[in-house]
Each structure stands twice: as structure tokens, then as C-alpha cells.
């Protein structure tokens, strides 16, 4: 493999301009699909029984999403996706292994042989170091930008995946801003932040009297986004019972409000995002296969910041410039500080980096940020040491106890279910957050909704739920 790598980066004048992905194929040697050959022309190819896979197998002993073949700089990796019956090479069950030419592996009762080919697929890289408000000069990001540049002018539905803090909403917003719908609404709905009993009316609206508390007609997020884009954040949190209704709207671009019988046409582009593995959720039966298939016409995978550390200096200077503009002053960063930032793994990704820069720039005494400034005395070795929360009832000098509304010790007693405890904590948080939000904005719902990143309708529903409508 070393002489003929799976993927090669092509440089021109010292700058990467494109990548060459060596094609490969999988030959099915035995099982229900024996004799089939599937050519692989992407850097990630999934196999399993579900139609969401590139390699669809009829074998009933194969999981819905069983394995994946991934290409990286070291070759072709076979990765088991938590399958029920396992993935085997030479009768050894494997989780993650590099494939050699001619390797035979087994999923369920099906034997497959991996064969690299001589042809290559050219993967373009964008000539730009940003797409809309998303920044990055790394090869990984410019490969994503090249895809986004093609996708943005279309109305294709896209699924944006990636860890928390990688900027999935920024990608969605940039797709909208760079599309022909840019002058129309961009509506964000966080599917994980809405109570189960409100999600349907939030999405599709309701008629007056449709349920207790429905004192007037309300348009849902899809109607509010008409002509523009709706961004369904944390789509993996959407209740399984509502998924068929969302699927019908995606397929027919029409809906009925809760309590109504009139069909309403909507013209919207749909973007979704999740930090969960929806393919595994399809396996588990908690996410509909057909909905996943409908949402992931295009899949954009945001890499974590630790996999594109060469982008950190660009991001740091961007965040510093933003803070400097707001404070009307000049800010810069010392070499030792930048070295520390690049050496950290950033579990919170770009969001954590931005927060560190904004906090440090606001608190440091000099216009030049140095290494000691970054952690405010909490630097340790090559990275940041973060103080751990105290156990319930514990305390230590210099560490604040949890806020009294954040966690009630009674929720940890026997007989309290996880779901019940979690809902009580969320209810307390929402009530405190919303009260503070309204107070900051002097009761103005429009300004409050804008600050919180919610629609006015969603915010009003939450306020009613917590009895804050008169505040």
C-alpha cells in the first residue's frame, strides 16, 4: 500500500489544490448477494442491510448499518459499526483494521473481498479559506468548502454531522446565505430543546382551540420559513412518533396545522444537523430509516478541531479581531500562547476555542495575550486543566458550588428515574434562563428570541409553559 497510497494530496506552488482517491471495489463471494461487485468511489462507504448504505446486503444476519470502509492517509480501514453479529477477518472478530489487497471479511453469512483498483477519483479542494462564516485553510475544510460551493445554489436537503461545537449551525447558515433563498427567512429549530407535547405545534403550527392553551392560531416553523430555509438542529432528538409526519412534509412539501384540516403548501429548503450517530439509531429502531435516507441526500461531516489544528491560528486571529472591533482596541497574541492553543485537543471544538479567546481577551491586562493569560492560572503541561465539579455535598477552596437550581440532591435518591430527574433539571434551567432573558431585554419577546436563537413562536410557547407570559 505504501507505494500506491489510498489517497494522495496534489500540490501546486506549495498549496494543496486537489486530492486523488484511489478507487476500490468489494466483491461478494458468498451469501444472498453472491456475485455482486460494488465499486467504491468515496472516502467513507457503509455496508449493511439498510437502504441508507452504499453496500446493501440482503443477508438477515447483517445489521442495518454493519460496517464501514474509510480511507485515510494510511490506507483503507474496515470499521465495525457496533453490529449485532460482528465483522470477521480470518475468523477473528474485528472492530477496526486496515485492509490489504484481496482481504476477505465476513458480515453475517456474507463473505466479501476487498480489491483496490488503479483508477482514481479526483476530489476538488476549494481555492478559498472560508465559506460564508465558516473558516479553515486545511485540506479537510477546503474539501468541505468545495462541496458546499456546489450544494449551496441548489435546494438539496443536507445532513450536517459532527461533534458538539464544530459549527454545524454556521455551516447551515452559510448554505442559506450563499443560496438563492438568502433574502428569505432562515428559521432554526432545536429539536432537543422543545418538550414532546409542543414539538408538533412548533413544527407545523396549530389552530385556535386545537388544545388547552391554544388561544389563537399560530404558524409553525415550516410556515415561518416559507420561501427560505429551515434548520432542524439536533434532529436525532426528534421523537420517533413525530418522524412520520416530518417525513410526509419533506416528501410532499405540504402540512396541516394541529387541529386543522386545511392542507398548506410550503416552499422550504431543509437542512438538519446532529451530533449523534443516526445510523446506529436506525439500527436501534429509534430513528426511521426512510427519514434518515430523505434527510441525508447530501451529508456534510464537520471534523473536530483536533483533526485540523492547522486552522487554529486563522480562527484565533479571527476571534481576536472580532473582540478588538467590539472593544475598539488592538489585540494580538504571543508565540508561546499560540503554541499552547495549537497543542491543546479542544474537546469543545471551535466553540470552546472562541470562548477561551473571548474570555482571555476581555480579562488580560495587556493588548498582547501570553500563555499565562490563556488559562488564568489553570494551564497544566501542554494543555488546559479544567476544575472538575464537586460531588454533591462536597466543597474545595476556590471552586464554586453548583447553583441551587442546577441540581437537587433529592433527584439522586432511589426511586427517581433518569428521565424524570433529567426533565426536572431541564424545567428548572428553562425557567431561570427565560426569566433572566426577559429581564435583560425588558420583556421584549422579539429581542429575547433573537438573543436566544429561538423563533418568537417557540419562545412564547416556552414562556407560557413556565408561567412567564406576564413578565
Quick one: pLDDT at residue 195?
83
The reported pTM is 0.78
- Quickly list DSSP for 434-468: HHHHHHHTTT-HHHHHHHHT--HHHHHHHHHHTT-
Rounded distance between C-alpha atoms, residue 91 and residue 124, angstroms: 39
SS3 state of residue 428: helix
User: What is the DSSP pairing of strand 332-333 with strand 368-369?
Assistant: parallel
CA distances from 370 to 78, 323, 349, 365 (A): 44, 16, 21, 10
Its sign, for the CA torsion 369, 375, 376, 379, is negative
Cβ contact 46:59 at 8 Å: no
Quick one: pLDDT at residue 460?
77
Rounded distance between C-alpha atoms, residue 16 and residue 123, angstroms: 11
SS3 state of residue 39: strand
Cβ contact 244:237 at 8 Å: no
**Which residues partner with 29 through β-bridges?**
none
Quick one: pLDDT at residue 453?
72
Spatial neighbors of 297 by CB under 8 A, at least 6 apart, are 156, 157, 158, 159
* Tens digit of pLDDT at every position of the chain (471 positions): 345 789 999 999 889 999 999 999 999 999 999 999 999 999 999 999 999 999 999 999 999 999 999 998 889 999 999 999 999 999 999 999 999 999 999 999 999 999 999 999 999 999 999 999 999 999 999 999 999 999 999 999 999 999 999 999 999 999 999 999 999 999 999 998 888 888 888 999 888 766 666 667 788 999 999 999 999 999 999 999 999 999 999 999 999 888 888 999 999 999 999 999 898 899 889 999 999 999 999 999 999 999 999 999 999 999 999 999 988 888 999 999 999 999 998 988 999 999 899 888 888 878 999 998 886 334 333 444 333 333 333 333 333 333 444 456 566 666 666 666 766 777 788 888 888 888 888 888 878 877 887 767 678 777 877 878 754
Cβ contact 37:26 at 8 Å: yes
Quick one: pLDDT at residue 209?
64
Rounded distance between C-alpha atoms, residue 435 and residue 108, angstroms: 55
Quick one: pLDDT at residue 19?
95
Amino acid at each position: 500500500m505504501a507505494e500506491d497510497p489510498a489517497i494522495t494530496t496534489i500540490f501546486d506552488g506549495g498549496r494543496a489544490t486537489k486530492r486523488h482517491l484511489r478507487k476500490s471495489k468489494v466483491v461478494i463471494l458468498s451469501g444472498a448477494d453472491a456475485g455482486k461487485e460494488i465499486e467504491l468511489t468515496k472516502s467513507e462507504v457503509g455496508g449493511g442491510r439498510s437502504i441508507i448504505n452504499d453496500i446493501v446486503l440482503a443477508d438477515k444476519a447483517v445489521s442495518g448499518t454493519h460496517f464501514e470502509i474509510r480511507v485515510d492517509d494510511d490506507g483503507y480501514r474496515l470499521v465495525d459499526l457496533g453490529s449485532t453479529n460482528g465483522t470477521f477477518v480470518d475468523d477473528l472478530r474485528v472492530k477496526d483494521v486496515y485492509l490489504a489487497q484481496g482481504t476477505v471479511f465476513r458480515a453475517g453469512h456474507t463473505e466479501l473481498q476487498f480489491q483496490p483498483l488503479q483508477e482514481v477519483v479526483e476530489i476538488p479542494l476549494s481555492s478559498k479559506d472560508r465559506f460564508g462564516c465558516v473558516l479553515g485553510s486545511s485540506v479537510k475544510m477546503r474539501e468541505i468548502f468545495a462541496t458546499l460551493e456546489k450544494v449551496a445554489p441548489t435546494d438539496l436537503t443536507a445532513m450536517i454531522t459532527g461533534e458538539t461545537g464544530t459549527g454545524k449551525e454556521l455551516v447551515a447558515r452559510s448554505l442559506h446565505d450563499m443560496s438563492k433563498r438568502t433574502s428569505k427567512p432562515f428559521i432554526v429549530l432545536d429539536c432537543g430543546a422543545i418538550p414532546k407535547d409542543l414539538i408538533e405545534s412548533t413544527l407545523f403550527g396549530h389552530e385556535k382551540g386545537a388544545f388547552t392553551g391554544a388561544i389563537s392560531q399560530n404558524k409553525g416553523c415550516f410556515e415561518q420559513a416559507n420561501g427560505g430555509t429551515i434548520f432542524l438542529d439536533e434532529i436525532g432528538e426528534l421523537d420517533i412518533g413525530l418522524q412520520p409526519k416530518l417525513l410526509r412534509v419533506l416528501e410532499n412539501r405540504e402540512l396541516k396545522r394541529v387541529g386543522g384540516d386545511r392542507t398548506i403548501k410550503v416552499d422550504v429548503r431543509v437542512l438538519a444537523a446532529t451530533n449523534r450517530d443516526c445510523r446506529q439509531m436506525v439500527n436501534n429502531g429509534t430513528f426511521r430509516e426512510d427519514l434518515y435516507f430523505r434527510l441525508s441526500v447530501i451529508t456534510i461531516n464537520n471534523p473536530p478541531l483536533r483533526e485540523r489544528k492547522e486552522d487554529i491560528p486563522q480562527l484565533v486571529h479571527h476571534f481576536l479581531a472580532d473582540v478588538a472591533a467590539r472593544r475598539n482596541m488592538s489585540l494580538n497574541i504571543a508565540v508561546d500562547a499560540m503554541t499552547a492553543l495549537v497543542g491543546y485537543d479542544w474537546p469543545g471544538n471551535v466553540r470552546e476555542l472562541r470562548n477561551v479567546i473571548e474570555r482571555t481577551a476581555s480579562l488580560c491586562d495587556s493588548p498582547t495575550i501570553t500563555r499565562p493569560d490563556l488559562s488564568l492560572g489553570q494551564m497544566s503541561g501542554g494543555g488546559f486543566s479544567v476544575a472538575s465539579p464537586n460531588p454533591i455535598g462536597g466543597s474545595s477552596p476556590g471552586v464554586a458550588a453548583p447553583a441551587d437550581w442546577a441540581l437537587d440532591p433529592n433527584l439522586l435518591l432511589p426511586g427517581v428515574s433518569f428521565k424524570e430527574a433529567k426533565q426536572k433539571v431541564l424545567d428548572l434551567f428553562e425557567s431561570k434562563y427565560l426569566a433572566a432573558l426577559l429581564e435583560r431585554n425588558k420583556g421584549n419577546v422579539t429581542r429575547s428570541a433573537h438573543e436566544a436563537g429561538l423563533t418568537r413562536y417557540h419562545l412564547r410557547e416556552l414562556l407560557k409553559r413556565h408561567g412567564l407570559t406576564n413578565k
